[in-house]
Amino acid sequence: MPMTMLATVLAAVLSSIVVVGLGVASYRLLFHPLARVPGPKLAALSTLYEIYYDLVQKGQLPWQLKRLHERYGPLVRIGPNEVHINDTSFILDLFSSTNNKLDKYAPHQQQLGVPNALVSTIPHQLHQLRRSALAPFLSGSRMTTAYRPVILDKVENVSARLEAIRQTESVVDLRQLLWYMANDIVTDIAFPQGTHLLDSPVLQSGYYNFQKGGQAMLLWFKHFPFLWTIFKAMPPAWIIKMEPQAAVPMNWEIANKKIAKEVLAGNNICEKSTVIHHLWSSGLPEKEKELNRVWEESASLLGAGGETVTNAICTTMFYVLRDRAVQSRLVNELKSAMPDDTVVPPLPVLLALPYLSAVIQEGLRKAIGIMSRFIRVNPSEAVVFHPYRLPPGTALSCSAFLVNNCDSIFPEPEKFMPERWMTSEDKLINRRKKLVLTFGTGPRRCLGEHLANAEMYYVIAILFRRFGFTLYETSERDVEPARDSFMPLPVEGTKGIRVRVANVT
């Protein structure tokens, strides 16, 4: 091809790209149904706006959303087809109502690597089918019966370790210790073989560090889901060779998948009932009981029951330890409820303790839960937020980070104030509880809420009844969210939530 012809072809291609680009930009800015919704023009043009704050600015989008709402108001267009909402009444009406049949946002389905699990299910009806099948396994009644011995066994293990640390006057990172506990609990409950991380005489940090590295990658997986395809296609031996710290979780997964395959084939080679048995014996269609689907559902429980629970417990403990008055009042209540610190009351007794409950509710508010925004889509009906009409298919989002820190609902939200949950105004308390979005809200509210609450009540009651803690070189920067990586992360370089352990006073 002569050079002049090649130049002509290239010029035509480039011109076409420019024309198409200008056409798309013009449509999104001037003619799109969301064109009148306030927000930055760059966000309306492209999802590169979100990618910039996620990846270049390393998880700073939640803080940018806060600034955008301060500038533009309660409704902000943050993408070509997405609006972010920061109006608590509208959030309750839209997201919390069981009457609204909202789908999950399809472009983010692959982020967690379990696209067939409940947490990633897009259609509302399929989500409700899967939820109804899984819900009995995580019911509140099981926390007081079948799962109580499992939870208490792991908490007693933690207690024994803390007693040994007390005697040596050394320092312990609560975040790492309680992360092992949370993982041992959820795997012992849900899987044929638990992780048994606490059974090791010396806690190995490899598994913990590998998980932390994976968590930091979640925003990359959100925008570039093909990375999951590459990772899953790699033989486990390759992964372990490149990252030796992956050996424990990879070998654990291989062993449990092998048992799961047998269970789903009708060969009950496992002595205990697991989530795999539960789903296999449920009324779900056979397609929903295929190995890959069931394994992804099981794996999602591990993801939800590890880091999020750990963060909630550690956040709560930090703020209690930072305020002597709060700590003293909590310990006094626990001494009355547990005269003998070796006898742990039933969960309903702990749930009825007013100050313990207030401390935990405030801890959940501060912990945030999921840092990334909740995104829903109404596929068939327009949503009206006067004076704007948001057409069917619009991505509608809100953020627990913003709602949990809304100063009109939670005055002085930066402060840890259990007393805000002890007012006699029941209507106010109920509204506040609905607007703590740590477990999400509405028909897609987290099913693991009962398990997380049980762990929080047992851990905080037992540990504060038996031990006195003092923070060691730990401040708010080691606890407060500083980055969004789906879950809230503190500043880089934190050494955890470190404490010294003493006798309770």
Is residue 494 domain-resident? yes
Annotated binding-site positions: 446
Is residue 7 domain-resident? no
Determine contact, residues 479/382, Cβ cutoff 8 Å: no
- The predicted model gives 106-127 an average pLDDT of 94
Buried b (16+ CB within 10 A) or exposed e, 92-123: bebbbeeebbbbbbebbbbbbbbbbbbbbbee
Annotated binding-site positions for heme: 446
Residue 19's pLDDT is 66
Is residue 361 domain-resident? yes
Determine contact, residues 306/289, Cβ cutoff 8 Å: no
Q: Provide the domain count of the chain.
A: 1
Report the relative pairing of strands 395-398 and 374-377 from DSSP bridges: antiparallel
Is residue 18 domain-resident? no
- The predicted model gives 413-439 an average pLDDT of 93
Tokens of 485: 């990586």
pLDDT at 295 over 80: yes
Residue 3's pLDDT is 64
Tokens of 412: 């002085």
In terms of residue numbers, what domain contains 41? Answer: 29-503
Is residue 224 domain-resident? yes
Residue 200's pLDDT is 85
pLDDT tens digit sequence for 68-83: 999 999 999 999 999 9
Is residue 15 domain-resident? no
pLDDT at 33 over 90: yes
Is residue 22 domain-resident? no
Q: CA 472 → CA 322, 331, 394, distances in Å?
A: 11, 20, 48
Long-range residue pairs from 248-254, CB within 8 A, at least 24 positions apart, any chain: 248/195, 248/204, 248/206, 248/207, 248/210, 249/207, 249/210, 249/211, 252/187, 252/193, 252/195, 253/299
pLDDT tens digit sequence for 48-58: 999 999 999 99
CATH number, domain of 342, equals 1.10.630.10
Is residue 12 domain-resident? no
pLDDT tens digit sequence for 340-363: 999 999 999 999 999 999 999 999
- The predicted model gives 234-252 an average pLDDT of 86
Q: What letter would DSSP give residue 32?
A: S
